[in-house]
Structure 1
Amino acid sequence: MANYLITGGAGFIGSHLSEKLLAAGHTVTALDDLSSGSRLNIAHLLDESRFRFVESSVLQCAALGELVASADAVFHLAATVGVFNIIRSPVETIGNNIDGTQAVLRAAAANKTKVLLTSTSEVYGKSEHAPFAEDDDLVLGPTSKGRWSYAASKIIDEFLALAFWREFGVPTVVTRLFNTIGPRQTGEYGMVVPRFVKQALRSQPLQVFGNGQQSRSFTDVNDVVEWLTRLITIDAAVGQVINLGNIVEISITELAQRVLAITGSRSEIEYVPYTQAYEHGFEDIARRVPDISKVVALTGCRPQIGLDETLERIRQSLLAGQVAG
């Protein structure tokens, strides 16, 4: 059984990953400053003898070196996420993401501890070459558009992870996540699915930003953590960039309609201009769908959970009061 460190371990994905690893008999240390994570996400794990929670950020944790040294591998999930955060606090977003990743990688270099970095489909930017493959060009907008700062910071994170592998022999794996959804995800920072479900349950209008024709591929968090737990053990994944996502596309308007059907809500769909929802000159991505042939070849796994099933679980968790924000 292995000892894993998860940065961002009290977050949405981190808490599900902790559950998965503990169920497999591993030991987990979750490091999180609770800036976007929550104690509620891990409350059911705190009495588990093989689970330890350290409340601190990656950048402020004096014991980071010790935590990494005692781990067999590190899942580096900690990052500033969400479009609202990116627009409101671009300096913090850039610093947290780049400096935090470098801090983890430097700590890992001491013992060549394996690090799996979670990046994002945002790095593909405005590319129109969908489905996106890992070796495709990355096409970002101008630096005058603040929304691209998040993608740029995660691109640097990826460069850092691969550079530490090539230069210092730190075994790193880079994963690009495509719109992971499930219970415990909050809509507070702009995530569309929990925001829609909560609006529907409150009989509020479902606010679709833009014209609603932009498409996304939504992946259940359980499918994502299945991939993560497999990739951390696969030597052939080291030094690779790997897409994790579902190949089924749906427009945001269709998503809103699906949420209304699942919840039985009579809420209306309201279209909100990007300038009102975000900022003047905001640029969105028309399509975001992955090529997942690499992760399927490495792990033998494809997504198993459909969108309707995930939406129903989110509905139930919100009704049970398990998600705040």
Structure 2
Amino acid sequence: MPTRNHYRKTWLVTGGAGFIGSHLCERLLEAGHGVLCVDNYLTGSRDNIAHLLDHPHFEVMRHDVTFPLFVEVDGIYNLACPASPIHYQRDPVQTTKTSVHGAINMLGLAKRLNVPILQASTSEVYGDPEVHPQPEDYWGHVNPIGTRACYDEGKRCAETLFFDYHREHNLEIKVARIFNTYGPRMHPNDGRVVSNFIVQALKGEAITLYGDGEQSRSFCYVDDLVKGLIRLMNTTAETTGPINLGNPGEFTMRELASAVLKETGSSSALVEHPLPADDPRQRQPDIGEAASRLDWRPSVALSDGLVPTVGYFRDLVERGLA
């Protein structure tokens, strides 16, 4: 896998106080780089980066990427956007603006500085897929006017903008399509299935299954995901993506609930609720491109990743923060 020479760079991470962003900031600092973390704290939290604030090469800026940003950096990871249905549907217009205006502003900054930029796209660009597992050349099956469209179509438009900037301005771009990711620092009330199940189990509440619980997802531990993002950024300019990053291990919601009950020691019951509109029935990444181009494969099994994740949420529940 061709890579650039490594030296201390300053990376801009938008959405850097979020779940994935905070882990990315941490890993970049561990690699000896500087990090400028930008977040408006709509869904991110200073608690996620509190342990980094005293690091000599870490800076934090409160900023909304829907407005232009003028800084000097060596590269940009654009992760800014609410990523859970509860959060992105709360203000759908702002969600679309974050994906589209945010992409335009960050691409403009990358063009001015002539630096590489990575877009954190999503498996949601595939919608409710008619192809399984999903390869990067699948164009998707998305409802453009549904309640999830603010996120799905916003991210699809962001990908369009990235490739247009690449073609028109020869800008070095990287596009990662991120599949379901879990781990410590997930927001306890973000409505995602892993955090939902764990918090409900730890509180002894009924675990909410939507539909019949037979819909499937693939769950990637955050450390694996961050390694993939960094490997994609460190490839030479010819590798633009889009590249799927996720764990191809597929689990039904009932299987996930069973794994959570086992790890938490909970006896919570399972309760079925109606399936939300446009909720995908299947989701599994084809990671052949990541394996061949990045030499990347996830290494953390769901059973292993749930251990620190449950530990994180157990602490939040015991402190009354979840």
Q: Same fold (TM over 0.5)?
A: yes
Work out whether residues 6 and 31 of structure 1, in 8 Å CA contact, stay in contact via their aligned partners in 2: yes
Equivalent position of 2:3 in the other structure: none
Letter aligned with residue 306 of structure 1: A
Give, in whole Å, the separation in 1 of the partners of 2:90 and 2:14.
23
Equivalent position of 1:83 in the other structure: 85
Q: Give per-residue Cα distances to partners, 1:66-120, cap 9 Å, x unaligned.
A: 2xxx211100000122112333322111112111111110111112211000000
Aligned length: 313
Residue among 65, 84, 99 paired with 2:70: 65
1:237 to 1:258, Cα distance in 2 relative to 1, 3 A: farther
Letter aligned with residue 170 of structure 1: L
Equivalent position of 1:268 in the other structure: 269
Equivalent position of 1:242 in the other structure: 243
Equivalent position of 1:301 in the other structure: 296
Residue among 124, 127, 139 paired with 1:125: 127
Work out whether residues 116 and 173 of structure 1, in 8 Å CA contact, stay in contact via their aligned partners in 2: yes
Residue 55 of structure 1: how far off its partner (Å): 1.3
1:173 to 1:150, Cα distance in 2 relative to 1, 3 A: same
Residue among 301, 310, 315 paired with 1:320: 315
- What TM-score does the superposition give when structure 1 sets the normalisation length? 0.93
Unaligned runs of 5+ in 2: 1-7
Q: Give per-residue Cα distances to partners, 1:177-213, cap 9 Å, x unaligned.
A: 0001100011422211011111111101111112111
Give, in whole Å, the separation in 1 of the partners of 2:207 and 2:87.
21
1:48 to 1:94, Cα distance in 2 relative to 1, 3 A: same
Deviates more, 1:27-36 or 1:226-235: 226-235
1:247-262 aligned at under 5 Å gives the runs: 247-262=248-263
Work out whether residues 127 and 137 of structure 1, in 8 Å CA contact, stay in contact via their aligned partners in 2: no
SS at structure 2 position matched to 1:296: helix
Letter aligned with residue 81 of structure 1: A
Residue 236 of structure 1: how far off its partner (Å): 5.1
SS at structure 2 position matched to 1:88: coil
Work out whether residues 243 and 289 of structure 2, in 8 Å CA contact, stay in contact via their aligned partners in 1: yes
SS at structure 2 position matched to 1:305: coil
Work out whether residues 129 and 283 of structure 2, in 8 Å CA contact, stay in contact via their aligned partners in 1: no
SS at structure 1 position matched to 2:11: strand
Q: Give per-residue Cα distances to partners, 1:34-60, cap 9 Å, x unaligned.
A: 110001000000000011111121124
Give, in whole Å, the separation in 2 of the partners of 1:2 and 1:95.
29
Q: Give structure 1 regions of 4+ aligned residues with deviation exceeding 4 angstroms.
A: 322-325
Equivalent position of 2:173 in the other structure: 172
SS at structure 1 position matched to 2:73: coil
SS at structure 1 position matched to 2:143: coil
SS at structure 2 position matched to 1:44: helix
- What TM-score does the superposition give when structure 2 sets the normalisation length? 0.93
Residue 252 of structure 1: how far off its partner (Å): 0.7
Equivalent position of 1:217 in the other structure: 218
SS at structure 1 position matched to 2:316: coil
Q: Give per-residue Cα distances to partners, 1:259-301, cap 9 Å, x unaligned.
A: 0011100111111113xxx5xxx12111100110111112212
Letter aligned with residue 298 of structure 2: P
Give, in whole Å, the separation in 1 of the partners of 2:271 and 2:238.
43
Give, in whole Å, the separation in 2 of the partners of 1:157 and 1:65.
20
Give, in whole Å, the separation in 1 of the partners of 2:56 and 2:133.
43
Deviates more, 1:148-157 or 1:9-18: 148-157
- Measured on the aligned residues, the alpha-carbon RMSD in Å equals 1.5
Letter aligned with residue 161 of structure 2: L
Residue among 41, 49, 56 paired with 1:42: 49
Work out whether residues 260 and 306 of structure 2, in 8 Å CA contact, stay in contact via their aligned partners in 1: yes
Give, in whole Å, the separation in 1 of the partners of 2:84 and 2:316.
22
Work out whether residues 237 and 298 of structure 1, in 8 Å CA contact, stay in contact via their aligned partners in 2: no
SS at structure 1 position matched to 2:113: coil
Work out whether residues 66 and 97 of structure 2, in 8 Å CA contact, stay in contact via their aligned partners in 1: no
Residue 142 of structure 1: how far off its partner (Å): 5.0
Residue 122 of structure 1: how far off its partner (Å): 0.5
Give, in whole Å, the separation in 2 of the partners of 1:237 and 1:317.
39
Residue 237 of structure 1: how far off its partner (Å): 5.5
Give, in whole Å, the separation in 1 of the partners of 2:246 and 2:238.
16
Query: Is 1:285 aligned to 2:285, yes or no?
Result: no
Give, in whole Å, the separation in 2 of the partners of 1:72 and 1:21.
13
Give, in whole Å, the separation in 1 of the partners of 2:174 and 2:260.
34
- State the identity as a percent: 37
Give, in whole Å, the separation in 2 of the partners of 1:127 and 1:56.
35
